[in-house]
Amino acid sequence: MDPAEFRRHGHALVDWVADYMERVASLPVTPDVEPGDIAARLPLRPPEEPEPFEAILRDLDEIVMPGITHWQSPGWFAYFPANVSGPGILGELASAGLGVQGMLWATSPACTEIELRVVDWLVDLLGLPEHFKMAVGPGGGSIQVSASDSTHLMHVVARHRSAAPADRLVAYGSSQAHFSVQRGARVAGFGHVRKVATDERHALDPGALEAAIEADVADGLVPAIVTSAVGTTGTGAVDPIGAIGAIAEAHGLWHHVDAAWAGSAMVLPEQRVHQAGVERVDSYTFNPHKWLFTNFDCNVLWVADRAPLGAALSDTAAIMRNPASESGAVVDLRDWQLPLGRRFRALKLWWVLRSYGARGLRHHVGEHLRLAGELAERVSEHPRLEHAAPTSFALVNLRHADGDEATDRLAAAINASGHSHVTASTIDERSYIRVSIGQTWTTAEHVDRLWTTIEENA
Amino acid sequence: MDPAEFRRHGHALVDWVADYMERVASLPVTPDVEPGDIAARLPLRPPEEPEPFEAILRDLDEIVMPGITHWQSPGWFAYFPANVSGPGILGELASAGLGVQGMLWATSPACTEIELRVVDWLVDLLGLPEHFKMAVGPGGGSIQVSASDSTHLMHVVARHRSAAPADRLVAYGSSQAHFSVQRGARVAGFGHVRKVATDERHALDPGALEAAIEADVADGLVPAIVTSAVGTTGTGAVDPIGAIGAIAEAHGLWHHVDAAWAGSAMVLPEQRVHQAGVERVDSYTFNPHKWLFTNFDCNVLWVADRAPLGAALSDTAAIMRNPASESGAVVDLRDWQLPLGRRFRALKLWWVLRSYGARGLRHHVGEHLRLAGELAERVSEHPRLEHAAPTSFALVNLRHADGDEATDRLAAAINASGHSHVTASTIDERSYIRVSIGQTWTTAEHVDRLWTTIEENA
C-alpha cells in the first residue's frame, strides 16, 4: 500500500470510524453469535494472493461487526469502562504512523520526554505526592500495559528486595482485591497469598491484616507486600490506605495501591479523601484507559522511590549501549518495565489531556458521578430494589428484594434490552447487578433508558 | 470531540501520516536534540482549559517531530526493524475505534476468533508443527505484547511445573541470547541463569549446554528451561534447536525458541532448515512487529501443549463468570497471558496478511535477504572491510580491517550521513557494525546509498 493508497483507504476508514461513533448507541450492545460463528467465516488457510483493501474493509462490516461487543456504547454499564475518545483514537493513529520504539531515550527522545512530562502532569491532576514526579524525585512514573502488569511488577520488586526465598514470601490483599493481585503474586513466585477479611463495606479490615501478618511471621513466613484497592472491581470498595500503610511500614512491607478504575475520580479534589495516606505508599497504579478517555492500553505506575524497581529489572546488553544512556542524563524506559519494546503511548494521553483540559476531565467524570448518585437514589426509593453494597464513585450495586433468582432475571432482562449492558455477579454469595457508569458518551438519557428497563422488569 | 470533528481531524491526520510516509526517506534518521530539549517545550503543569485540536496537530510538527528517531526510514539499518505498513497502521486505527476488550470470548467474540484463526494461519506461513494450531491441538498460539513477555511467561511456566524452590532453578541460554532471557529468568525468580558458551558462529554449543546441566545437577540445582535463539540479536546466530531439544528432553527441561526477528524469514520454505527440530520444542515466539509489516505491538507465542500454561496462570473471579466460558466451548485469551486486558491486535495482523498475501510476504522478505546477500558480497570483496560474523538472514556484520577505532569511526560516519542508520556494537570484545536490512520500504536504492557512504569512509 503506497502513500496515495494509504491516503485513500485512510480517509475511508476514518469515515467508517466516525460513522461507528454516530451509530454505536443504536446497536445492540452484545452480539448475537454462538462460539465458532465468526471463525466459520474465515478461511482455514492464509491467502496466497494479495487482497484488495476494499475487500478487507467490507469484511469489517460483514465478519467483524457481527462479533463485536460494543464497549463504546453509551449503554455500556458492564465491568468498568474501557473508554476511547476522538483524541485518544487519533493519538493511537499518529503513534502507529510514526512507529517508533521508546525502549531507550536515544531510540526516540520525544517518546520518552513527552511520556515523563505527561505522567508528571497526572500527579497534579490526581493530587498525588510531588515526590512521584520524575522531575522532583526520588520517585517517578511510566506508562505500562495494564494494571495487572504493574501489580505483578510490584510483586517482583517486593520479592527482589526481600532476602527470603520466594516460597516463604507472603502477599496480601483483601478478599475483594482484583484477581491481578493473586495472579501477580502467583506469577512472581510468591509461596503465599492472603485474602484478608473485609468489613461490612467490603473494604480491607486493617485489624485482620495485622493479625494475618503476625500469624505468618509466627509461622516463619516473610510478609513482603500488601495491595490496597481504591475502588475494588466487585463493588468499588475503598481500602483504608492510611491504616494499611501504617501496618505496612511497621512490618516492612511494600505498600502498593491499585486505583485502576477509581484513580480517574481523583481529578476531582473532593474525591481525594479516598486516597488519604497516599503520601506514604510505595507505588500507585491507575488506568487512563478505563475512565479517563484514553484508549487501551494506557496504564500508569508510580513508585515513590525508583531505586528498587531499577534494581529488580536492570541489566544492559552491548547492543543497547549509547552515549546518552551512559551519560546518565536520560531515563531509559525499558528499565521501568518487563518488556523491552514500547510504543509511543504518551501521544494519545497527551492529546486527551490537552483536548479535555483539566476542567473538561473534571466535568465529564463529575457528570458520571452525578448520574450514579441519581441512579442510587432511584434504587433507594424503589420498593423492589436494594443496594447490594454502597454506591462507590460511579458504580451502583443493586439487587432485587425477592432474592437471587429475581436479581438474575432482572440482569438478564436488562441485557436482553440490547440498549444497555450490565454485569451480573455475586457478593457474599448473593447475586447482584453492577451498574458502572462512565463510558465516554454516556449521558442522563442513557441512564434514564436503563432505569426504565429496570423499572419495567423489577 | 464529536463524530463530525473526529471526521475532520481524522482526515487531516491521515493526510499527515501519508505525507510522513512520502517524506520519511528524506529526513535525517536520528534527531538532533540533547536530553531535555523536547521536555523544555512542554508546560510543567497540565492545561486547565481544553485546547483546539489544530494546536495539538501543529505540535506534532513543532514538538514531536524534532525528537523522533525514524524507525520507518528506508535507511533504517539499526537494531532490527520495527515495521509498520499501510494495512498495519489502518488495522491499529480500526482497533482503536472499536475499543473492545478481548479478555474473554464473551467480551468480544470476533476479537478472540479472528486472533485464533490468524495465529493458526501463521503456523502454515512459517512451517510450524500442525499441533501448534489451536484448531488441531494440544497446543495453541496467541498474541502477546513482546517477545520479552513471552519468554518471561515461559520461564514462569517452567518454574511452575518444577517442584523445586525457585532459588534452585536454573535457566539456560547462550551467551548471545537476548537480554530478555536473563531478565525473564530474573523476573520469574530463577536462582540461576547460565550463559552457555557458543561456537565460532556464535551459536550455542550443545556440548557446553549438556556439561552445564550436568554440573548443575551435580550441585543439587534443578535445570528447568533452555531458550534457543533462531537469529540472535547480536549477529543473527542460529542455535541448533534439534540438538538442544534432545538435551532438553533427556533432562526434562522446557525448550523455548526465541525467533523474535528471524521467525519472519520462515515464510520462505528454504529458510526453514534453520528451525529444523521445531516439531519437538515446547514453545516458540516471534514478532510480526519486527519484520512482518505489522505495527508494534504484535508478538506471537505458541505452546506445543496448552495445559501447563493454563495451570501456571489460571484462576477465576466471580465477575468474569459467563455462560460461554463455563460451557468450555470457547477460549478466553486472558488465560494465555499475564495481563487481563487486551486490545484487538489481530485486526492489524489479519489485514497485513491479507493485503500482502503469502506471495507478497515471501517477495518482500526475500528481497531483504537478497539485498543482504549482495551487501555481504561487497563487504567480502572490499579490501578494508571484514565480516565480524557470518551474515545471517538479512543481518550483515562488518568491521574495518584496521581495528576497533576505524570501525567506530566508520559507524559514526554512516550515522552522521543522516540518510542511513546502523548499530555499533561489540562481539568478542571487538567493535563491529550491524547492518540489519528489513524496513518495510527499504529497496536496493537505499542499500546502495548506504554502501556508497561505507565506501567513502572505509
In chain A, % of residues over pLDDT 90: 94
The residues that bridge with A204 in the sheet, in sequence order, are A198
Are A67 and B4 in contact (CB < 8 Å)?
Answer: no
Question: Cβ A148–B105 below 8 Å, yes or no?
Answer: no
B7/A15 touch (CB, cutoff 8 Å), yes or no:
yes
CATH 3.90.1150.10 positions along chain B are 1-30+69-84+358-458
All cell numbers assigned to B144: 502477546
* Mean pLDDT, rounded, for A208-234: 98
Strands A385-392 and A169-174: unpaired
The verdict on a CB contact (< 8 Å) between A145 and B146 is no
Mutant choice from B90, B155, B179 vs A, greatest count of A C-beta within 10 A? B90
- In this prediction the ipTM stands at 0.97
Q: Which CATH entry fits the domain spanning B100-343: 1.20.1440.230, 3.40.640.10, 3.80.10.10, 1.10.10.10? A: 3.40.640.10
Q: What is the pLDDT of residue A328?
A: 77
CATH 1.20.1340.10 in chain A: give the residue spans: 3-68
What the block records as the C-alpha cell of B155 is 520461564
Domain with CATH 3.90.1150.10 in chain A: 358-457
Contact status, residue A52 vs residue B59, Cβ threshold 8 Å: no
Q: Where residue A316 falls among pLDDT bands split at 50, 70, 90?
A: low
CB A304 within 8 A of CB A132: yes
Which of A15, A84, A324 has its CB closest to that of B96? A84
Contact B79 A125 (CB under 8 A): no
**In 10 A of CB A122, how many CB atoms?**
23
Q: Where are the alpha helices (DSSP H) in A102-193?
A: 109-126, 147-161, 179-187
Chain B hits for A225, CB-CB cut-off 8 Å, are: none
Which of A297, A343, A358 shows the shortest C-beta gap to B341? Answer: A297
With beta carbons under 8 A apart, name residues in chain A contacting B145. Answer: 145, 339, 341
CATH architecture under which domain A358-457 falls = Alpha-Beta Complex (3.90)
Handedness of CA A421, A426, A432, A435 (dihedral sign): negative
Give A240→chain B minimum CA distance, Å. Answer: 23
Query: pLDDT tens digit string along A53-105?
Result: 999 999 999 999 999 999 999 999 999 999 999 999 999 999 999 999 999 99
Contact B338 A152 (CB under 8 A): yes
Task: Show residues of chain A in contact with B111, CB under 8 Å.
Answer: 67-68
Instruction: Write down the CATH number for the domain with range B1-30+69-84+358-458.
Output: 3.90.1150.10
pLDDT tens for residues A120-134?
999 999 999 999 998
Look at strands B385-392 and B395-400 and give their pairing: antiparallel
Q: Is residue A193 pLDDT above 80, yes or no?
A: yes
Question: Nearest by CB to A48, which of B35, B156, B357?
Answer: B357
Per-position DSSP letters for B213-224, written without gaps between them = HHHHHHTT-EEE
Residues of B in contact with A36 (CB under 8 A): 113, 329
pLDDT lower than 70: segments of chain B: 315-320
Distance CA B277, CA B273 (A): 9
Q: How far is CA B235 from the centre of its chain?
A: 15
The Cα of B134 is separated from the nearest Cα of chain A by a number of Å equal to 12
Q: Where in chain A is the domain with CATH 3.40.640.10?
A: 100-343
DSSP string, B11-55: HHHHHHHHHHHHHGGGS-SS----TTTTGGGS-SS--SS---HHH
Q: Could you tell me which chain A residue has the CA closest to the CA of B6? A: A86
Please spell the DSSP secondary structure of B403-432, one letter per residue: -HHHHHHHHHHHHHTSS-EEEEEEETTEEE
Q: What is the CATH number of domain A3-68?
A: 1.20.1340.10
Using a CB-CB cut-off of 8 Å, the residues of chain A touching B423 are 319
Q: What is the rounded CA–CA span in Å between residue A286 and residue A284?
A: 7
**pLDDT tens figures, B147-168:** 999 999 999 999 999 989 999 9
Provide the pLDDT for residue A277.
Answer: 98
List of chain A residues whose C-beta atoms are within 8 Å of the C-beta of residue B15: 7
